[in-house]
A and B are shown apart, each in its own frame.
Chain A
Amino acid sequence: MERHERTHDSETRIGCFEAMNRMTDALDGLLSSKVRHAFDEHLAQCDDCQEHAEHLRELLKVLYHQPRAVMPIELREDPLSFPIRRLRRFFSNPRAVWRDLPVAVRLLIEGASIAAVVVLGIRLGPIAREMYEARMEKRLQTMIAAEDLSNQAVPLVRGKGDAEEGEELASSEGEAENSAGVEVESDVQVGKSEIWRFNLKTDAPTIVRGEILKALKETGVPENTSGIGGVEAPGGIQFDILVPIAVIAPLKIQLERLAGTPSENLPFSETFTWYKNRSKKPIPAGMSRVVIWLSQI
Chain B
Amino acid sequence: MPKTAPSTRDTRKSDDWIDGVVLTYGDLLYDLCQTMLWSPADAPDAYRSILRTLARRRRTEKFERYERPWILQIAFRELRGMKKRSPRLLTPAEQVMLDSNPDPRARLRFFDSYFHRLPIESQCLLILRDKYGIPVSEVSAVLEVPEASARLQRLQALRMLESWIYGGEYGTA
Interface of A toward B, CB cutoff 8 Å = 1, 3, 16-17, 20-21, 23-25, 48-49, 52, 55-56, 58-60, 62-64, 66, 68-69, 71-72, 75-76, 79-81, 85, 89, 92-93, 95-96
Contact = CB atoms under 8 A, between A and B. Distances in A.
Nearest to B21: A79
B40 A69 contact: yes
A24 B151 contact: yes
Given A52-B173, A80-B18, A75 B108 contact: no
Contacts of A25: 151
A79 B48 contact: yes
A89 B7 CA distance: 11
Contact of A59 (B51, B52, B165, B172): B165
Contact of A68 (B27, B40, B155): B27
Given A52-B173, A76-B22, A66 B27 contact: no
Given A1-B168, A79-B26, A80-B55, A24 B154 contact: yes
A95 B154 CA distance: 53
Interface in B44-101: 44, 47-48, 51-52, 55
20 contacts: A1-B169, A1-B173, A21-B155, A24-B151, A24-B154, A56-B159, A59-B165, A60-B158, A66-B131, A68-B31, A69-B33, A69-B40, A69-B43, A71-B47, A79-B18, A79-B51, A80-B52, A85-B15, A89-B11, A96-B11
Contacts of B22: 76, 79
Contacts of B4: 93, 95-96
Contacts of A62: 108, 111
Given A16-B173, A71-B26, A76-B22, A64 B168 contact: no
Interface in B123-155: 126-127, 130-131, 151, 154-155
A135 B109 CA distance: 85
Interface residues of B, number: 42
Contacts of B130: 60, 63-64
Interface of B: 4, 7-8, 11-12, 15, 18, 22, 26-27, 30-31, 33-35, 40, 43-44, 47-48, 51-52, 55, 108, 111, 126-127, 130-131, 151, 154-155, 158-159, 161-162, 165-166, 168-169, 172-173
Contact of A56 (B26, B31, B158): B158
Given A79-B18, A80-B48, A69 B34 contact: yes
Contact of A49 (B27, B40, B173): B173
Contacts of A93: 4, 7-8, 11
A contact patch SS? helix
Contact of A24 (B34, B158, B161): B158
Contacts of A64: 130-131
Contacts of B43: 69
Given A20-B173, A24-B155, 4 more contacts: A68-B31, A69-B31, A71-B30, A81-B48
A69 B47 CA distance: 12
Contacts of B159: 20, 56
A55 B159 CA distance: 9
A17 B30 CA distance: 38
A85 B31 CA distance: 24
B30 A55 contact: no
Contacts of B18: 79-80
Contacts of A1: 168-169, 172-173
Nearest to A2: B173
Contacts of B52: 80
